[in-house]
Amino acid sequence: MGDAFSSSEDFQNLKSLDVPVYCQEELDKDIEREVPEVDNLLFLGRFGTYKLNCGLTVGYISGRITDYDAMYKYFDGKIVDILLTFQWPKAIAREKKLTLVSNEKLDPIVSMVQPRYHFAVGTDSGKYLERDPFKWKDTTRVTRFISLAKYGREDKWCYAFKIGLSNSEDQHLDISSENPFENQIEEPEEEKVLKRSSEPDSVSKKRARLVDPSTCFFCLSNPKVATYMIISISSSVYLTVAKGPLTFPRDELNFSGHGIIIAISHVPTLRSGVEDQQLSVLNSDFYRDILKYQLALIKMFQSIQTTNYCVVFFEISRSSAIHYHIQFVPIPTELIDGFETQLHKTCKKNSEMYPNNVTVQFEKLDETIEEDKSKLESIMNDQEYILFTVAHSESKYIKYIAKLPKEGTVDLQLPRKVLSYLLSTPKRSQWQKCVQPFHVEEEEAQNFRIKFKPYDFTMNNTII
Ligand SMILES: [Zn+2]
């Protein structure tokens, strides 16, 4: 498994092997390696199937695939006993929150060939995982997924197993684990959008798939929603800590502080969450709840003694979105003066990097000025937009809003990029790279809850 030829020295003095060894390539690194000529060593190539003398069929896919259509055509209608891939299929990686070791293009292949054993490595250094076996609908086939670590590592790097020609023994197994390929949970919106913005036009122009509340990551009715991250719930919105937070705990602030205000209803925008279409969204109970949380958060962050914080809220309101939410991040006050420059800089850089995306231009609005307020209200009522609210204090809010056309691709990572550059942590601009272990998420949520409690307007005895 993995990169068999990373060091050709291993093979220098080797002329033959006692048992047949089958090997394949690693990830696409633009390096053509020479395959050593050793008896009993068989190099499998990019993708294909191989029938062993005993009659078992092995399917293999290296990390170097470029022509996926050819691969799909090749595997169509084939069933294999053992499948070897370099990367993990995404359906399994997502369950383990390790999507970076996966390639979603493998998923249809796994569903097609329904291997009895599927071995992978995921990364150059390998990653050990043995997933519970799962069944395929309308068949007696059972798949076991095993990922192995690199040879010699502390984690398990070898695996012995017994496999017969027929799968009759599998039929008596008591399998309770869900098939991740048949019961796919919807990926978080940000992840999907990130992909959309970096992929070719044909993909980017597609609208988001319809997501049912029972599978939506932000819907409380979804049994898989991360309830341990919830801080507070009001009648229209609720508050959670963010997965893969942009910021770090600092001094007295013993949690990252990056969180999300989420609509309780499964609605894509603020406007669509206000039933009375004649009513301005700014006068709705929905928006009032949001404002209450915003004010409570500003007060909470300003109660931190060791650092002065501003709070930046950001949201993207598009009718093609899945579930309306507003993110927020505490920003040390000493950095906030650089916000506007950074915003324009990031927009400029983004439009150079993604010339086919829609042009995003922000306007600065001060709600205390009547003209600005009505402009803001009109956009929030009738348009699609990206909005930053920079809260310097309980009474000073500056808004930066960019109108968006209904069609076209928008880099929905833009707000996070702006803030990650402002904080001089550009590597944290992708949330997937910042995902924390479960126990850290749980601890941060608990610390947040304690700090937020005196400001939580949904509870009695609050300061507000
Ligand atoms: Zn939802």
Same domain, 193 and 164: no
In whole angstroms, what is the distance from residue 294 CA to residue 300 CA?
10
Of 140, 172, 204, which one is at a domain's C-terminal end? 172
Ligand 1 centroid from CA 404, angstroms: 22
**Predicted pLDDT of residue 461:** 54
Same domain, 223 and 157: no
DSSP string of 232-291, one letter each residue: EE-SSEEEEEPSS-SS--BTTB-S---EEEEESS--SSTGGG-S-TTS-GGGSHHHHHHH
Residue 375 has pLDDT above 70, yes or no: yes
Ligand 1 centroid from CA 179, angstroms: 23
Ligand 1 centroid from CA 193, angstroms: 16
Residue 271 has pLDDT above 70, yes or no: yes
In whole angstroms, what is the distance from residue 28 CA to residue 38 CA?
24
Ligand 1 centroid from CA 325, angstroms: 10
Same domain, 135 and 14: yes
- Residue 347's SS3 state is helix
In whole angstroms, what is the distance from residue 280 CA to residue 269 CA?
13
- Which of the residue ranges 169-173, 261-265, 370-374, 391-395 would you say has the lowest mean pLDDT? 169-173
Average pLDDT over residues 114-132: 87
In whole angstroms, what is the distance from residue 336 CA to residue 319 CA?
30
Within 8 A by CB and 6+ apart from 241, the residues are 229, 231, 255, 256, 258, 259, 260, 441, 444, 445, 448
Residue 182 lies in a domain: no
Ligand 1 centroid from CA 32, angstroms: 47
Residue 322 has pLDDT above 60, yes or no: yes
**Predicted pLDDT of residue 198:** 35
- As a whole-number percent, the residues of the chain with pLDDT over 90 amount to 50
**Predicted pLDDT of residue 167:** 79
- Which of the residue ranges 26-30, 61-65, 138-142, 313-317 would you say has the lowest mean pLDDT? 26-30
341 vs 163 pLDDT, higher one: 341
**Predicted pLDDT of residue 197:** 35
Residue 438 is which amino acid? Answer: F
For residue 35 the two structure tokens come to 């395959």
328 vs 159 pLDDT, higher one: 328
Residue 207 has pLDDT above 60, yes or no: no
Ligand 1 centroid from CA 191, angstroms: 15
Same domain, 260 and 392: yes
Residue 93 has pLDDT above 70, yes or no: yes
Same domain, 106 and 77: yes
Ligand 1 centroid from CA 263, angstroms: 8
Ligand 1 centroid from CA 96, angstroms: 22
Ligand 1 centroid from CA 322, angstroms: 6
**Predicted pLDDT of residue 5:** 62
Same domain, 260 and 393: yes
Residue 31 confidence class, pLDDT cut points 50, 70, 90: low
Residue 78 lies in a domain: yes
Of 138, 172, 206, which one is at a domain's C-terminal end? 172
**Predicted pLDDT of residue 201:** 32
Whole-model pTM: value is: 0.58
Ligand 1 centroid from CA 268, angstroms: 8
Ligand 1 centroid from CA 266, angstroms: 4
Residue 1 lies in a domain: no
Number of domains in the chain: 2
In whole angstroms, what is the distance from residue 60 CA to residue 348 CA?
44
Nearest to 149 by CA among 361, 1, 46: 1
In whole angstroms, what is the distance from residue 440 CA to residue 437 CA?
5
Ligand 1 centroid from CA 305, angstroms: 37
- Which of the residue ranges 14-28, 126-140, 261-275, 348-362 would you say has the lowest mean pLDDT? 14-28
Within 8 A by CB and 6+ apart from 204, the residues are 196, 197, 356, 409
Ligand 1 centroid from CA 40, angstroms: 55
- Enclosing domain of residue 134: 9-172
Ligand 1 centroid from CA 282, angstroms: 22
Ligand 1 centroid from CA 298, angstroms: 26
**Predicted pLDDT of residue 329:** 97
Residue 200 has pLDDT above 70, yes or no: no
Ligand 1 centroid from CA 365, angstroms: 30
Average pLDDT over residues 331-345: 96
Residue 387 lies in a domain: yes
For residue 90 the two structure tokens come to 């995404």
Average pLDDT over residues 438-462: 89
Same domain, 157 and 57: yes
**Predicted pLDDT of residue 268:** 94
pLDDT tens, position by position, 212-248: 787 888 998 887 788 889 999 999 999 999 999 999 9
In whole angstroms, what is the distance from residue 347 CA to residue 362 CA?
9
Ligand 1 centroid from CA 293, angstroms: 19
- As a whole-number percent, the residues of the chain with pLDDT over 70 amount to 88
Same domain, 353 and 395: yes
Q: Which residues of 100-126 are buried (b: 16+ CB within 10 A; e: fewer)?
A: ebbbeebbbbbebbbbbbbbbbbbeeb
Ligand 1 centroid from CA 239, angstroms: 14
Mean pLDDT of the chain: 85
Residue 460 lies in a domain: no
Ligand 1 centroid from CA 240, angstroms: 14
In whole angstroms, what is the distance from residue 295 CA to residue 353 CA?
36
In whole angstroms, what is the distance from residue 380 CA to residue 316 CA?
11
Same domain, 26 and 57: yes
Residue 34 confidence class, pLDDT cut points 50, 70, 90: low
Ligand 1 centroid from CA 206, angstroms: 19
Residue 125 has pLDDT above 80, yes or no: no
**Predicted pLDDT of residue 346:** 96
Ligand 1 centroid from CA 182, angstroms: 21
Ligand 1 centroid from CA 211, angstroms: 7
Residue 2 has pLDDT above 70, yes or no: no
Residue 213 is which amino acid? Answer: P
Ligand 1 centroid from CA 267, angstroms: 7
Ligand 1 centroid from CA 237, angstroms: 12
Same domain, 300 and 163: no
87 vs 35 pLDDT, higher one: 87
**Predicted pLDDT of residue 425:** 94
Give the CA distances from residue 3 to residues 56, 67, 453, in Å, rounded to whole numbers and listed in that order: 24, 20, 52
Same domain, 162 and 193: no
Average pLDDT over residues 418-423: 96
Ligand 1 centroid from CA 440, angstroms: 25
323 vs 153 pLDDT, higher one: 323
Ligand 1 centroid from CA 219, angstroms: 4
| Through-space distance between the first and last CA atoms of the chain, rounded to whole angstroms | 59
pLDDT tens, position by position, 422-432: 999 998 988 88
**Predicted pLDDT of residue 212:** 78
Same domain, 347 and 388: yes
Residue 47 has pLDDT above 90, yes or no: no
Residue 366 lies in a domain: yes
For residue 404 the two structure tokens come to 């968006």
Within 8 A by CB and 6+ apart from 149, the residues are 121, 125, 126, 127, 128, 155, 156, 157
Average pLDDT over residues 422-444: 91
Average pLDDT over residues 280-290: 96
Residue 304 lies in a domain: yes
Beta carbons of 403 and 382 less than 8 angstroms apart: no
Residue 338 confidence class, pLDDT cut points 50, 70, 90: very high
Ligand 1 centroid from CA 178, angstroms: 22
Residue 193 has pLDDT above 70, yes or no: no
Helix (H) or strand (E) holding 390: strand 384-391
Residue 184 lies in a domain: no
